[in-house]
Amino acid sequence: MNIYDISEKAGVSIATVSRVLNGNSKVSDKTRKKILAVMEETGYQPNVFARGLGLNTMNTVGVMCADSSDMVLASAVYHVEQELHKYQYDVLLCCTGYETEEKAKYMNLLLSKRVDALILVGSSFIEKNMEKNQYIIEAAKEVPVMLVNAYLDASNVYCAVCDDRTMMRQVTREFLEQKRQILYLYRSLSYSGRQKLQGIKDAFKDCGQKPEKDQMVLMKDSTIEDTRKFLAERWGQGVRWNVVMTSDDELAVGACKFAKAQGLKVPQDMQILGYNNSKISICSEPEISTVDNHMQKAGTLAVDQLMEILKKEEVEQKTIVKGEMVLRDTTIDL
């Protein structure tokens, strides 16, 4: 069933059929109704490929994320999809992993599928080494690229970033003002990873201090159990702290497990702060105080801005989304 069949059955030309298909006003009510009726009764559906061929678009955007089974990314992807759906756009999903080469391959794949835009969800897409971001800059020459919680200063790439640096600065300062001994556990040097680190350094500077090297430790792929063990080992070596700050809730859970095993009371003996306000923060015992950086909001915002861009309207290259503290049972000073 194609546009010719419809035109024939309705006794009009294909141009007229095409017009009602595209909501063109210049069609008499009578013929429009006639055509609509025929479409209805035949169950006609326009062929998107033919349409795409002419218009060079299929109303599809490529959404890339490192790992959609990661709770934080999954949530952001979900919101991106829902928002795009509102605008009648579909999502081509790619789970790229964390290797630059794979990411670039996936991106080329999406580009070859002629997506209307790319949305990169998660800060792992922007690395410190600018060479590794080059493929994004290249892609942006073809279609607009939206970054969700990452920042890259390049033409045709737009960023909706969470205010991780400020959040970290703020909370760290509060701990420092209470003369707490902080240990910061973090996961990666992704864009947001660096922002958080920077926020902590800011806070130390604010207080006329400087963090010790071993106050900030990179945990990379550590599981909860790894984290617990690591802390136990440190503690066994005589190292002491009374605040554990983390770059994600999972690390915080590890800290909770350590505290319990060590017989340390949380938050009296040791405070713990998570990050992301993910579901696991309320599964732990005690429930974890955490920072919500409102990544979902960054996701929907990125989509909204993308729609502006596709309408050829001007959009800020960088928009910042405010975060929020979610205080529960692992902190007292905040």
Give the range of 23-31, 164-172, 185-193, 275-283 binding DNA by CB under 7 A. 23-31
d(CA 242, CA 222): 21
Question: Per CB under 7 A, which region of 30-38, 121-129, 168-176, 275-283 contacts DNA?
Answer: 30-38
- 240, amino acid identity: R
Strand order in the sheet with 182-186: 216-218, 182-186, 243-246, 271-275, 289-292, 324-326
Nearest distance, CB of residue 270 and a copy of itself, angstroms: 15
Tokens of 172: 């760290």
Determine the Cα–Cα distance for residues 72 and 63; give it in Å rounded to an integer: 15
Residues 199-238 that bind a copy of itself (CB under 8 A): 224
Nearer to DNA, 4 or 87 (CB): 4
23 vs 236, beta carbon nearer DNA: 23
* From 3, 35, 63, 266, residue interacting with a copy of itself (rule: CB under 8 A): 63
Distance of CA 166 to the CA centre of its chain: 18
- State which of residues 109, 315, 320, 325 lies at the interface with a copy of itself (CB under 8 A): 109
CA distance 299 to 330: 29
Residue with smaller CB distance to DNA, 17 or 63: 17
CB-based contact 216:196 (threshold 8 Å): no
Q: Is 43 in the site for DNA (CB under 7 A)?
A: no
The answer to the question of residue 53 lying near a copy of itself (CB under 8 A) is yes
Instruction: Round to whole Å and give the CA distance between 79 and 3.
Output: 36
| DSSP category for residue 147 | E
Secondary structure element (H or E) that encloses residue 173, with its range = helix 164-177
Instruction: Identify residues 234-293 at the interface with a copy of itself (CB under 8 A).
Output: 250, 253, 256-257, 260, 279-280, 282-285
Residue 161's binding partner, choosing from a copy of itself, DNA, none, with beta-carbon cut-off 5 to 8 A by kind?
none
Query: Phi and psi of 184, rounded to 5°?
Result: -115, 125
Token code pair at residue 178: 């209470």
- Residues that bind DNA in the complex, under the rule CB under 7 A: 2-4, 11-16, 18-19, 21-22, 25-28, 30-32, 44-47, 49-51, 53-55
- List residues binding a copy of itself (CB under 8 A): 45-50, 52-53, 56, 58, 60, 63, 67-69, 71, 74-75, 77-79, 81-82, 85, 90-95, 109, 111-114, 224, 250, 253, 256-257, 260, 279-280, 282-285
